[in-house]
Structure 1
Amino acid sequence: MIALAAVLSVATLIGRVSEDLLAILEGGAVAGIGVLTQPAGTTVLPYLVVPMLVGATAARMPGLVRVLVAEALVAAVAWWPVNGRPTLSQTRPLLLWLGAALLVGLVVVLLQRRLESRSDTGSYRDAIALIEQLDALSGRLSGGLDPVALAEELMAEADLFVTVQQAAVFTRTPVGTVAPLRYSTFSAPQAFVGLDDFVENCWRSDRPLIRENVAGVPVRTGTRTVGVLTLDLPRPADHRSLLRLQEALGGLALQLHAALLFDSVRAHATSEERNRLAREVHDGVAQDVASLGYMVDGLSAAATTDDQREQLVALRREVTRVVAELRASVYDLRNEMRAGQGLGQGVSAFARQIGSRSDLTVHVRLDEGATRLRPHVEAELLRIAQEAMNNARKHSGGSNLWVSCTVRPPYAEIEVIDDGVGLQPGRHDSHGLRIMRERAEGIGARLEVANRTGDTSGTQLRVRLGRPAGTT
């Protein structure tokens, strides 16, 4: 029996026999041996449970049934030649152990079904529980959930331990690289150019590192690094002062970690909702309006007077315009900052799209360095630029659109200019400009919208974040 089990187990391991077939063979073997060696074979019958258990685990209810049939069939075939006509007293042990094995197999099948049904909704239940906890806690977080504000607190804390000329806080981006979260006020970002390797070494270290007049302090929550506070110092720092600073940053590190996680969840949820809306518009309203256009075409073909045809042609043009607007809205919803794509690239791609679906001649100027803004800031600036370009396409009536984008973190500026009719009185149900202002205020940027000055007509929109290097 042991030798047979060993042979079958080895066959299963090398892939020659499936677990389901193994259970059938073992079940038949146990039943045959138990019957052929009666009455001593009664001690073998408890092993009938094992094949049932394996069959139920490997193939659910069908596997359990196959093993049960194999065991019962082999036991019946082997009984007659050896023991003759069976009696109840002779077969009672066999029937009892077959029943026990069947019961164990049924329990396994039921447990598997229960676990499978729970697994479909288990992740959602866990998500609901976590979101409820976050909702309950967010109102009690004294430090808030703004990563930028917390980065400023980290830099302010550094001033209490060492003399700092400039500072920056670096964190991980979704693609795994380190990027500046915030620079100190009036800092020159050029001072931190070329420090990527140094910041990476600081991230992997659990102690502050020093390179000439630059110090890197890992911001850690116990055993996890959530950021690196990089300091530009007037002279090499005392290592003990940096250690005391790192210890003092422990509480802010926890707050920063929570804020970064919340920011990531919010960004993911926003992206998922935008994609869902894009699908709904494309598969629902856009298709319905397109179908309406085909109906108008049919009516035009059946029109009996020139006046009817003219009205239906005008209606068809309007339906085509609405379909184009809906498709543009789908594109806007799906057009997001992709991994490895900077703000300038995103603005340029959208400007090309505007040029391809309108009569505007689009002129684009980019000035973008290797250093990136925070993903949330880039996304908000891109949405403002998209809305400005869409407004020019829909309402300006102009021939040209000039788009410029300058990104020199922490400074960024986007300008959208057209040569159309200029600003018109706003409708009471128009929210575009208000939403752009809200987006700008949310990231600390300034939005300016005005008519072009001088002899030129048109509208000029500028959104500016921070100050250019070298200005005060």
Structure 2
Amino acid sequence: MTAADTQIERRLEQLHVWGPYALLGVGAVLSGVAADLMDGPTEWYTAGSLVAAAIVLQLWWHATRHRRADRGRTPSRAGTAYYVVRWAIAFVLTWINPFFAFYAAAGYMDADELIPGRWRRLGLFASVITVAGAQVGGLPVRSIAQWLGFAGLLVVNFGLQAFVAHITEQEEQRSRERAETIEALQQALDENAALHTQLLLQAREAGVADERRRLAAEIHDTLAQGLTGIIAQLQVVANAPDDSTAREHASRAMDLARHSLGEARRSVHNLAPVALENAGLPEALKKTVAEWGERTGVRAEFTVTGRAEQLHEEVAATLLRIVQEALSNAARHAAATRVGVTLSFLGDEVILDIRDDGVGFAPTAVREHTPAGGFGLAGMRARAERIAGSLTVESEPGHGTALSARVPLVRHDQ
């Protein structure tokens, strides 16, 4: 509730507390001025007693309002009884002197807060009878002209009060609906906040898991392959027939060690592979394929089709890692004599094809991820899917293997 709403509520509360006192005082003063409207001391005594009774009734009603504080200004049986007794006192006072109709008009102010439901209109009608009687010159009504005037005033007054009551009820209904809507929105906001917190926690956990998978794949694609190459070169050194051959392969082993160290550092910092540091993807793939062929002695060819584009770092790194893993698998398992790598730029996607003439395998019989730590096809497929791509495998025992990775073409500046 705003400060303005609080101020309005405070003023309404003051009106309901002091309004009946003020109206009773106005009626008593005007009745005293128009003393000729009261006949004899009996009516004076009766009026005085009723004024005192009205004051006592108001004092009692407002003295007990703290008991109703939890309900606010809500219709109740006690409120209805208070309204009826007050109306009776006002009716008798108005009968004695029409100016006491001011006190009867207090019924217009709080009928909606004292009388429940359909009885509210009856309470308003009772107050209208008293006020209309005073407006035609006082009660009782005697002449036909007074009766006609009384009937007309009764209709007009009740029509106006019923219209105001209807508007008030509609406004109260809208207020309740707004309050319910605000409560529902607040509940929705609380639920959204809880869901947001839960999603943040899940995203954090997913991010940690994804980072672990990334580092595991990076280590597999860099350190593991590099160490495999180093071991292969050192084995040649151990069996070299002369010092020249041993030095050549020892130099290759050192180069692989330096390259693997650089890859490890960049993997930890989530940077691009070393091969992409100063070159685009086509140049990096060409160099990677050439070095792999030289190291393994397998004939390796690289081809680019379409107009080459400068790819986003993540796309380029993903495709390079897929080629590295495919070549590593070919060196370990394929026993191939020829490997071909093709990078195709086709409009809005990039296609990477790796083919070999090795021993092949049955794709349905291959476990794509083994507990021993190999990532293989599963790792390549996960890399492609991470950037909204896909990986397909075609192979048959004795007829080689073909891998095809399709990923969206995302340019460097996008």
TM-score (norm 2): 0.34
Greater radius of gyration (CA): 2
Whichever structure has more strand as a proportion of its residues is 1
Larger helix fraction of residues: 2
